[in-house]
Amino acid sequence: MGEERAYWNAIEKLPRTELEELKLKRLRAIVRYAYYNSPFYHRWFEEAGVKPDDIRSFKDLERIPVFRKDDIRAERDKTGDPFAGLLCVPLDEVLLINPSTGTTGIPTFVTYAETELKICAEMMCRHFWMTDARPGDKALTIQLNWHWLGPPSITAYRRLGMHLLVDFVHPITAERYVWLAGFKPDFMFMDQPLLMAIRDEIREHTGKEPHELYGGVRNLVCAGESFPPKFKEHLMQEFGITGGVYDLYGCSESHIVAVECSEHNGNHFWEDMFHVEILDPDSGEVIPPDSGESGEVVVTNLFARDMPFIRYGTEDVAYLETERCGCGRTHARLIPRDRISWRIKISGKEIYPIDVRRIVEEFPETVEGAFTIRKYAEEMPKLKIDMRHEPWVRPEDEEALARRICERIKEKLGVEAEIRWVSFSGLPVIFHKIERVLDETKR
C-alpha cells in the first residue's frame, strides 16, 4: 500500500499562476462559445456592446452585465423557450432536465448532458474525498428525485466505491431515520434542518438520544444553509459524529458546489471549472477577493457546453478568499453568508439573519438557531423574531432567556429586538428549509 492520497485530483493544488492561466483560457473559450451558440448570450453581449474578442482578461469580463433568475424568467416568458435561450445543444443531447427548487418563484430549468454530468461528478468526487469519504464507506443520503445535486453526487459515490442508502427527504418522515439507523452509516449527506427534525423524531419515538442511534458516523456533509461554528460542535455532540461536519453550498444555475475542507475556513470550489466574482449588492462594483467584504456571488461556469452561465448573479452573499488554504489546496474559498433577499434594515443598520444566528447560537438554549425574522416594514425600528428553544427549557424561564438574548443582540448589532417563542411547526418552512425572513409587507 502506498501513501494515502491526499487529494482526489492533483489539479486541486495547482499553483495559482497556472490556475489563473488555465481559467483565463477556458473563460475566453466559453465566452466565445456562448456568444455563437446561445441566442440569449448573443443578444445579451450585443446589447452591452461586447464581442467575444473584447474579453481578454478577468477585468474585461466586467463589461458583460450580470444576469439573474428574473432575467431568465423574463426571457422565457418573452420567447416561450423553456431554457430562455441558454441551451446551446440540441435537446436530444440532454440526459436529464432538472427544475430549480422554486423557493423564490417559478422554477427554472437546468440540464445535464453527458460531458457536463461527468465533470460535475468528478467535482463531487473531489468534494467528497476532501470531506474524508473513502472507498467502502457506507453513505446515507437524502434526495429529492429532481434535485440537481442528486445525479452527480450519486455518480460520485459509485466512483468512490461507496455503499449507498438513499431515503426520502421530508421532516414529517424523519421517523424513517429511527428505522434506518441500523444501516450504521460512516458518511451522511443531508440538509441541516432535516437533521434537526430527525433528532426530534428520535427523541420522541425511542426516548433515546440521536448519538445512541447514529453515533459512529464519521463525516456529515450538511447543505441547505450556511451555519456558524457553535452549531457545528453541537451537531457533532448530538449525533456523536467522530470526524467532522462540513458545510456545502450550491446553486443549481451553473451547478457550482463549494464544500469545506478539514480546515473549516470556507468552502472550496474548483476554480478550473468556475470563475467567481463578488459584487457589491448596492453599487454593482466588483469587490476584490481577500478584502474582508462580502457581496453577491457571481458565477461564470467554465465547462458547461450544454448550458453555460456567464456572470450569473446567484443572489447569495459570501466572502471570497484566495489565499492558500492550510489543507494545501490552492483553489479559492467562499464563505457563505445569506441570501440578498434576506437583508433587512433596522434603524438604519443592515442585518442578515446569519448575524442574528451567530449571536443566538451562543446560548445553549437556542444553539440550533431555529428562528425567523418577521419583516413588517422596509425600515424597521425593532427586530421581531419568532424562535424555538431546546425542549428542556422550562416555560417559566422563557421570558428571562428572551431578555438575555435581546440584550446580547443590542450589544453586538446595536438594534432593539423582540422574541416570540414558537414550536417548530410555527416557523415557515419551504422544502424543509426555514425561511429566515418572513416578508409580511408582501401580504
- Positions touching other proteins (CB under 8 A) are 82, 91-92, 94-99, 102-107, 109, 112, 114, 117-118, 121, 136, 142-146, 150-152, 154-155, 158-159, 163-170, 172-173, 175-176, 179-180, 182-184, 428, 430-431, 435, 438-440, 442-443
Is 140 or 405 the residue whose CB approaches other proteins more closely?
Answer: 140
3-class state of residue 111 by DSSP: strand
Residue 123's contacts (CB-CB under 8 Å, 6 or more residues apart) are 152, 257, 270, 273
Report whether 86 contacts 136 (CB < 8 A).
Answer: no
**Least distance in Å: CB of 167 to other proteins?**
5
Kindly state the smallest distance separating residue 209's Cβ from other proteins, in Å. Answer: 20
Q: Toward other proteins, which CB reaches closer, 206 or 265?
A: 206
Q: State how far the Cα of 194 lies from the Cα of 143, in Å rounded to an integer.
A: 11
Q: Which of 379, 334, 383 is nearest to 355 (CA)?
A: 383
Cβ–Cβ < 8 Å for 266, 329: no
Q: Look up residue 270 and give its DSSP letter.
A: -
* Cβ nearer to other proteins, comparing 153 with 219: 153
Q: Which of residues 66 and 169 has its CB atom nearest to other proteins in the complex?
A: 169
Query: Is the CB of 236 or the CB of 429 nearer to other proteins?
Result: 429
Are 393 and 427 within 8 A, CB to CB? no
**Cell numbers given for 163:** 455503499
In the complex with other proteins, which residue's Cβ is closer, 177 or 270?
Answer: 177
Handedness of CA 361, 390, 431, 206 (dihedral sign): positive
Dist. CA 334–CA 412, nearest whole Å:
24
Distance in Å, CB of 286 to other proteins, minimum: 30
Measured from the CB atom, is 32 or 163 closer to other proteins? 163
Closer CB to other proteins, residue 394 or residue 442?
442
Nearer to other proteins, 103 or 291 (CB): 103
Provide, rounded to whole angstroms, the least separation between the CB of residue 48 and other proteins.
28
Of 185, 196, 250, which Cα lies nearest the Cα of 219?
Answer: 185
Give min distance, CB of 9 to other proteins, in A: 16
Q: What is the DSSP string of 60-82?
A: HHTTSPPB-HHHHHHHHHHH--T
Nearest distance from C-beta of residue 146 to other proteins, angstroms: 5
Q: Which residue, 245, 248, 298, is CA-closest to 268?
A: 248
CB of 431 to other proteins, least distance (A): 8
CB of 307 to other proteins, least distance (A): 14
Task: Name the minimum Å distance from CB 424 to other proteins.
Answer: 15
Burial degree of 33 (CB within 10 A; 0-12, 13-18, 19+): middle
Q: How far is the CB of 51 from other proteins (least distance, A)?
A: 32
Contact indicator for 386, 420 with CB cutoff of 8 Å: yes
Between 48 and 106, CB nearer to other proteins: 106
The answer to whether 280 touches 1, Cβ cutoff 8 Å, is no
Strand 349-351 and strand 163-167: pairing? Answer: unpaired
Residues 6 or more apart from 137 whose CB is under 8 A from it?
A: 160, 162, 163, 185, 186, 187, 218
Based on CB atoms, which residue is closest to other proteins, 26 or 126?
126
**Looking at this protein, which amino acid is placed at residue 259?**
V
Secondary structure (DSSP) of 378-422:
SEESEEEEEE---TTS-GGGHHHHHHHHHHHHHHHH--EEEEEE-
